[in-house]
Amino acid sequence: MKILVGIKRVVDFSVRVQVKKDGSGVNTDGVKLGINPFDEIALEEALRIRERGTQAEVVAVSIGPAEVQPQLRTALAMGADRAILVETGEVLQPLMVARVFHELVKRENADLVILGKQAIDDDSNQTGQMLAALWDRPQATFASKVELKDKTLMVTREVDAGLETIEIDLPAVITTDLRLNTPRFVKMPDIMKARSKPLQVLKLEELGVTAAPKLEVTSYAPPPQRVGGKKVEDVTALVATLRQRGIL
């Protein structure tokens, strides 16, 4: 069994993001970068599937510049068997990312692709669904529990009404939710071992992926500052204030 796991480099979740003064993007100079938290959960689940006794090879995949390699090395230190970097200087949008993964799926003859449900930088929540459509295989999004049974998966999904359990055939695509697991800590011996694990670098052009339509981002802006609250004496004053602000 071969499992591909998506790894995206993002600004660390604990960092307060600052927009550049000219509105051209987010300032990343001197900012801590790491693996997208949902992707860490995806990798952890792939490792747990292997540790439950399934003969599986776990392959971490990332798309981006050469600077993404430290995040792939972290994925190798967590336990991935090998890594693939599709190197490009372009900022790829979800459809293009899905097409790249589709090509890798065919090349690697993958049985399962596990992705984070979304990245915390763009919150698109689209790549997994698009990949399943291109691949013409089942998908289980927002997974909070995964059980492998022979050639099928029992996946519990978090939906608006609560929890939904579905059964899907392999090969398939899963996207992970926060409550699926807690990723393991990387230990120093594992970091040392990761240096000897294979990390393959492919140029985007080598995959022969057809370019996808792009959305043009014209500018970035921080959210407006919050207005201070106002204390009122009673319900009548509250209603009057809400009407004055056009809320009621």
* pLDDT for residue 247 is more than 90: no
pLDDT at 20: 87
Record the pTM.
Answer: 0.86
147: Cβ contacts below 8 Å, ≥ 6 apart = 153, 154, 155
* pLDDT for residue 221 is more than 90: no
Beta bridge partners of 84: 61, 200
Q: Which is it for strands 152-159 and 139-149: parallel, antiparallel or unpaired? A: antiparallel
pLDDT at 44: 97
Place 105 in a pLDDT band, splitting at 50, 70 and 90.
very high
Which has more pLDDT, 28 or 81?
81
Q: Look up the CATH superfamily of 2-214.
A: HUPs (3.40.50.620)
Among 96, 98, 166, which residue's Cα sits nearest to residue 135?
98
pLDDT at 90: 84
- Each domain of the chain, given as residue ranges in start order, spans 2-214
pLDDT at 25: 80
* Radius of gyration from C-alpha coordinates of the chain: 21
Spatial distance between the Cα atoms of 49 and 31, rounded to a whole number of angstroms: 34
pLDDT at 104: 97
Among 14-23, 44-53, 183-192, whose mean pLDDT is lowest?
Answer: 14-23
Token pair of 166, please?
């579905």
* pLDDT for residue 157 is more than 90: yes
Beta bridge partners of 21: none
Which has more pLDDT, 170 or 225?
170
Q: What are the two backbone dihedrals, phi and then psi, of residue 148, each rounded to the nearest 5 degrees?
A: -95, 125
Among 26-40, 56-70, 162-176, whose mean pLDDT is lowest?
Answer: 26-40
Beta bridge partners of 140: 174
Place 229 in a pLDDT band, splitting at 50, 70 and 90.
confident
pLDDT at 132: 97
Provide the residue type at 4 as one letter.
L
Mean pLDDT, rounded, for 85-110? 93
pLDDT at 160: 87
Beta bridge partners of 83: 60, 199
Which has more pLDDT, 141 or 218?
141
pLDDT at 41: 96
Q: What is the pLDDT of residues 47-76, one digit of tens each?
A: 999 999 889 999 999 999 999 999 999 999
* pLDDT for residue 3 is more than 80: yes
* pLDDT for residue 79 is more than 90: yes
Mean pLDDT, rounded, for 160-175? 93
Residue 170 C-alpha from the chain's centroid = 21
Q: What does the angle CA 119 – CA 179 – CA 94 come to, to the nearest 5 degrees?
A: 20
Q: What is the pLDDT of residues 106-150, one digit of tens each?
A: 999 999 999 999 998 888 999 999 999 999 999 999 999 999 988
Sheet holding 57-64, edge to edge: 162-169, 152-159, 139-149, 172-176, 112-116, 2-6, 57-64, 82-87, 199-203
